[in-house]
């Protein structure tokens, strides 16, 4: 969290851990970063503090006088301003000026450009390629195609692994609570559910690796790859992840040569430039309904080519990522060597997970009846194989201990090891309830 501190010296910034920082801790940070002793500081959220002339005037500002008060209790959040009065003098670091004549040094074109943000295309992604488990990709696109008919937007978080070479493998897709329309997609995140998802991922030896979303039929008629709203949403999740190989995947319908429609997957990374702009709050986040969707608006001028502008074509922010299939054949041109070696050695390149269990947060809630039906249908398989489905594990996780049981059960699935009898009895009991 960043807090702005305005004093007689101007506006300065202090970085904090969270809004739970106390006034006392804030004063200590100001002493450390701005070199103003704690005992000399008077803080307030009231800008009139800067007009105080005497020590008696300062005593009237008491809203931040209690050192144990948290910043959240004062309604201070990221970007808020706190006003600071202090006794004494200090040296404020600033730019070095080299005057040349009464109007100062002449600025060259390079000087002007250096003072602005340049937006350029990024040629190479940090992610070498992305491959999808065929079942999890089909489970996502089938629902969007057959149940939603690509009429409303849909999204999910992709989980899998990242290799040292920058290869991302997607093994399952978690679909959070959401509300989609033709043009808008609101992700209604559930922190408690996401903790269960993360615990399962840890047990499976996986992590969140990307964001996948769909475009509707009506969007296909418009001249852009990603809309400005989609760029903002993709940049938000990419920035939040802290993963340089993070992948943004797009699913849409495309007209084929015969005049029919095929489901088409594309993969991108948001450019380093885009993530920097997002983190530094350059993007205009309030988008008018009549705004051109293929342009992202900035709060300040940026340099694109040789032009100063506040509107940037969204394609400048996209870096294309190659897509492979986990189950690629040795006879295909784009061969996934790792998957081929696994097949040669008689192992399943698809990984331990299936995607046949009903998926969370869709039109119909997932019930214990679904668990019973699934277990009945898979009676001929070993028990660990019967529960080797992320969406089934997510249902079970609601009834298990988050810190121990959930990762332990997921680890059995990851290793395809025998499930302890106690867990088997509990799962069968839940299915019968």
> Given this model, what pLDDT does residue 92 score?
60
- Report the pLDDT averaged over residues 341-358: 60
CA 262 centroid distance within chain: 28
> Given this model, what pLDDT does residue 91 score?
66
| Number of residues that make up the chain | 433
Residues 6 or more apart whose Cβ sits within 8 Å of residue 126: 166, 244, 245, 269
Q: Looking at the structure, do residues 393 and 307 belong to the same domain, yes or no?
A: no
Q: How far is the C-alpha of 88 from the C-alpha of 41, rounded, in Å?
A: 10
Q: How many CB atoms lie within 10 A of CB 412?
A: 20
Q: What percent of the chain has pLDDT over 70?
A: 88
8 Å CB contact between 147 and 363 = yes
Q: Looking at the structure, do residues 155 and 68 belong to the same domain, yes or no?
A: no
Beta bridge partners of 247: 210
Residue closest to 224 by CA, chosen among 287, 291, 178, 276: 291
- Residue 77 inside a domain? The answer is yes
Q: Looking at the structure, do residues 208 and 276 belong to the same domain, yes or no?
A: yes
Residues 6 or more apart whose Cβ sits within 8 Å of residue 91: none
Of the residues 39, 69, 86, which one is the last residue of a structural domain? 86
Q: Looking at the structure, do residues 205 and 63 belong to the same domain, yes or no?
A: no
Residue closest to 383 by CA, chosen among 340, 346, 413, 362: 413
Of the residues 305, 323, 341, which one is the last residue of a structural domain? 323
- Residue 143 inside a domain? The answer is yes
Q: Looking at the structure, do residues 32 and 156 belong to the same domain, yes or no?
A: no
Q: Looking at the structure, do residues 281 and 394 belong to the same domain, yes or no?
A: no
What are the tens digits of pLDDT across the range 130-160? 999 999 999 999 999 999 999 999 999 999 9
Answer whether residue 103 shows pLDDT above 60. no
- Residue 39 inside a domain? The answer is yes
> Given this model, what pLDDT does residue 307 score?
86
What are the tens digits of pLDDT across the range 314-335? 999 999 999 986 554 433 433 3
Domain that holds residue 383: 356-432
- Residue 236 inside a domain? The answer is yes
- Residue 339 inside a domain? The answer is no
- Residue 290 inside a domain? The answer is yes
> Given this model, what pLDDT does residue 351 score?
65
The pLDDT-based confidence of 101 (bands split at 50, 70, 90) is very low
Q: Looking at the structure, do residues 290 and 386 belong to the same domain, yes or no?
A: no
Q: Which residue has the higher pLDDT, 109 or 247?
A: 247
Instruction: Say how many domains are in the chain.
Output: 3
Domain CATH code at residue 197: 3.40.140.10
Q: What does the block give as tokens for 70?
A: 């948290």
Answer whether residue 56 shows pLDDT above 80. yes
DSSP label of 206: -
DSSP label of 226: S
Q: Looking at the structure, do residues 296 and 210 belong to the same domain, yes or no?
A: yes
Q: Looking at the structure, do residues 125 and 258 belong to the same domain, yes or no?
A: yes
Q: Looking at the structure, do residues 187 and 277 belong to the same domain, yes or no?
A: yes
- Residue 253 inside a domain? The answer is yes
> Given this model, what pLDDT does residue 302 score?
92
DSSP label of 22: B
> Given this model, what pLDDT does residue 7 score?
86
Q: Looking at the structure, do residues 279 and 365 belong to the same domain, yes or no?
A: no
- Report the pLDDT averaged over residues 79-108: 65
Answer whether residue 93 shows pLDDT above 70. no
> Given this model, what pLDDT does residue 409 score?
96
Q: What is the three-class DSSP state of 431?
A: helix
Q: Which residue has the higher pLDDT, 431 or 17?
A: 431
Q: How far is the C-alpha of 187 from the C-alpha of 177, rounded, in Å?
A: 6
Q: Looking at the structure, do residues 221 and 72 belong to the same domain, yes or no?
A: no
What are the tens digits of pLDDT across the range 243-284? 999 999 999 988 777 777 889 999 999 999 999 999 999 999
pTM, whole model, 2 decimals?
0.70
What are the tens digits of pLDDT across the range 285-305? 999 989 999 999 999 999 988
Q: What does the block give as tokens for 236?
A: 């938000």
Answer whether residue 372 shows pLDDT above 80. yes
Domain CATH code at residue 62: 3.10.20.90
Q: How far is the C-alpha of 183 from the C-alpha of 287, rounded, in Å?
A: 12
- Residue 94 inside a domain? The answer is no
Sheet strand arrangement including 261-270: 318-320, 261-270, 247-255, 207-214, 155-162, 167-174, 129-132, 322-325
Q: What is the three-class DSSP state of 58?
A: helix
């Amino acid at each position: 969290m960043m807090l702005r501190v305005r004093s007689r010296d101007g506006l300065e910034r202090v970085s904090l851990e969270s809004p739970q920082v106390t006034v006392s801790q804030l004063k200590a940070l100001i002493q450390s970063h701005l070199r103003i002793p704690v005992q000399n500081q008077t803080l307030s959220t009231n800008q009139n503090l800067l007009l105080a002339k005497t020590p008696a005037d300062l005593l009237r500002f008491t809203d931040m006088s209690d050192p144990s008060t948290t910043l959240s209790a004062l309604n201070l959040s990221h970007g808020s301003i706190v006003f600071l009065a202090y006794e004494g003098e200090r040296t404020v670091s600033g730019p070095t000026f080299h005057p040349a004549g009464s109007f100062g040094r002449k600025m060259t074109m390079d000087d002007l450009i250096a003072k602005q943000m340049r937006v350029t295309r990024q040629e190479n992604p940090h992610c070498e390629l992305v491959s999808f488990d065929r079942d999890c990709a089909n489970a996502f696109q089938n629902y969007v195609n057959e149940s939603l008919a690509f009429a409303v937007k849909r999204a999910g978080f992709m989980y899998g692994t990242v290799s040292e070479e920058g290869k991302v493998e997607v093994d399952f897709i978690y679909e959070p609570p959401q509300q989609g329309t033709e043009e808008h997609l609101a992700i209604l995140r559930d922190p408690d559910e996401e903790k269960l998802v993360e615990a399962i991922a840890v047990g499976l030896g996986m992590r969140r690796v990307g964001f996948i979303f769909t475009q509707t039929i009506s969007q296909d008629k418009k001249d852009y790859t990603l809309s400005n709203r989609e760029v903002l949403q993709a940049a938000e999740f990419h920035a939040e992840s802290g993963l340089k190989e993070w992948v943004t995947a797009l699913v849409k319908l495309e007209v084929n040569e015969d005049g029919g429609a095929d489901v088409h997957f594309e993969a991108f990374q948001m450019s380093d430039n885009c993530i920097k702009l997002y983190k530094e709050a350059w993007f205009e986040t309030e988008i008018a309904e009549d705004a051109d969707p293929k342009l992202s608006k900035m709060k300040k001028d940026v340099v694109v080519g040789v032009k100063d502008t506040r509107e940037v074509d969204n394609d400048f922010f996209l870096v294309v990522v190659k897509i492979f299939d986990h189950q690629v054949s040795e006879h295909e041109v784009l061969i996934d060597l790792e998957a081929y070696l696994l097949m040669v050695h008689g192992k399943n390149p698809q990984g331990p997970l299936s995607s046949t269990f009903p998926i969370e947060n869709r039109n119909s809630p997932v019930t214990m009846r679904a668990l019973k039906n699934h277990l009945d249908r898979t009676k001929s398989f070993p028990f660990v194989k019967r529960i080797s489905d992320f969406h089934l594990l997510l249902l079970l996780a609601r009834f298990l201990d988050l810190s121990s049981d959930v990762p332990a059960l997921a680890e059995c699935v990851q290793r395809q090891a025998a499930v302890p009898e106690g867990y088997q009895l509990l799962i069968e009991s839940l299915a019968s309830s």
